[in-house]
Amino acid sequence: MAADPMRVRALEQGGITEIKVLMRHDMETGLRKDAGGKLVSAHFIQQINVRHKDRDVLSAQFGPSIAKDPFIGFKFKGGAKGDKVAVTWIDNLGEKRTDEAVIA
């Protein structure tokens, strides 16, 4: 699953950088049953970090009740056009994904 890239957009206007991230992940709660009636194992994003110039601008924890392919959006001060932001998630099975975007 970690091979699916995130869509990360970063736009700076007037000293404020807006970040939008779409993460591709099935986000299984562990409560759904498959066609045979067996429970599907829990598999969900637990931790998200967004870094800009060696500092965390967002750190969040998710639980199993977040929808499939989660989307987050937020703003921070201090970004400049051309800077990179890195978004990393880690799920409950230890899988990890990091993607970067350049601030436009």
Query: What is the CATH number for 98?
Result: 2.60.40.10
Question: Between β-strands 16-22 and 71-77, what pairing exists: parallel, antiparallel or unpaired?
Answer: antiparallel
pLDDT single digits (tens) 50-75: 999 999 999 999 999 999 999 999 99
What is the chain's mean pLDDT, rounded?
Answer: 95
Domain assignment of residue 44, yes or no = yes
Three-class secondary structure of residue 2 per DSSP: coil
Domain assignment of residue 64, yes or no = yes
Question: pLDDT band for position 4 (50/70/90)?
Answer: confident
Q: How far is CA 6 from the centre of its chain?
A: 7
Q: Residue 75: which domain range?
A: 7-102
Residue 2 clears pLDDT 80, i.e. is over it: no
Domain assignment of residue 2, yes or no = no
For residue 48, the model assigns a pLDDT of 97
Domain assignment of residue 71, yes or no = yes
* pLDDT (mean) for 11-20: 97
Q: How many domains does the chain have?
A: 1
**pTM recorded for the entire structure:** 0.90
